[in-house]
Amino acid sequence: MRRRSSLRISGMTSKSCSDSAPADQLLALDNQLCFALYAANRAVTARYRPLLKELGLTYPQYLVMLVLWQQDQNEPAPKVSELGQRLRLDSGTLTPLLKRLEERALIKRTRGAEDERVVRVALTPAGRALRELAVSVPERLMCGLDVDPAQIVSLRDELRSLLEVLEGAEPTAQ
C-alpha cells in the first residue's frame, strides 16, 4: 500500500465528485492550479537560463548533472533507466540529451558488460569539475529575489506532496 501524502486531510476524500462550482469559475484560467504551476515552472526555468548558459547547460541537462554529482563514487554509475526514474523522464527524452552531454565530454555512456542492454552514465573529470562552477548557481538564483526562504521550503514540500499523490493515484479514466 502506498504511503498517504500529507496533502490528505484525514477523513476527507478530496472533493465530493458530484458538487460543482459555476462553470465560469471552474474554467477561469487564473483559478487553475495547473496554470499557476505551468507559468511558475517556466518563470523559474527562465531565471535559471542565463546562469546555466555560463555552464553551457540547459535546464534539463542541469537536472541530470545534479543527479550525477550526487552519485556516490563507489556505487556503479547509474543506468539510463535509473536517471529516468529519478527525473521522471523516459529514454525518448534522455537518450538524445545524454548524447549531447557526451558530445560535450561531460559524461561517458558505457554499455554494460554484464547486461548488454543497459547503458551506464558516468561523469568524466570535466563533468565532475563543472560542479565547482555550479555550486554558486542556487545562491545566485535567489539573490535579488524578494522571497522568504522558509516559504520556498514549504512550497517545495507541498509540491512534493502533490507529486506523490499524483504518482500514487489511478490514471484518469479516458
Partner DNA sequence: TACAATTAAATTGTGCACAATATAAATTGA
Partner DNA sequence: TCAATTTATATTGTGCACAATTTAATTGTA
How long a stretch of residues is the chain?
174
Task: Kindly tell me which residue out of 32, 95, 136, 154 binds DNA, with binding defined by CB under 7 A.
Answer: 95
Task: Kindly tell me which residue out of 2, 3, 15, 88 binds DNA, with binding defined by CB under 7 A.
Answer: 88
Radius of gyration of the chain (CA): 20
Q: Which positions from 51 to 80 touch DNA by CB under 7 A, shown as an x/- string?
A: -------xxxx-----------------xx
Task: Kindly tell me which residue out of 19, 75, 115, 132 binds DNA, with binding defined by CB under 7 A.
Answer: 115
Positions in 118-137 near DNA (CB under 7 A): 118-120
* Residue with the three cell numbers 561531460: 106
Q: Is 81 in the site for its own copies (CB under 8 A)?
A: no
Q: How far is CA 140 from CA 4, 25, 61, 130, 145, in A?
A: 35, 39, 19, 16, 9
Q: How far apart are CA 95 and CA 32, in angstroms?
A: 33
Task: Kindly tell me which residue out of 79, 86, 109, 128 binds its own copies, with binding defined by CB under 8 A.
Answer: 86
* Residue with the three cell numbers 522571497: 147
Which CB atom, from 126 or from 133, has the smaller least distance to its own copies?
Answer: 133
Beta bridge partners of 80: none
* Pair 106, 127: CB distance under 8 Å: yes
CB 114 to its own copies: min, Å: 27
CB 14 to DNA: min, Å: 22
Q: How far apart are CA 148 and CA 88, in angstroms?
A: 28
Chain residues that interact with DNA, rule: CB under 7 A: 38, 42, 45-46, 49, 58-61, 79-81, 84, 88-98, 100, 109, 114-120
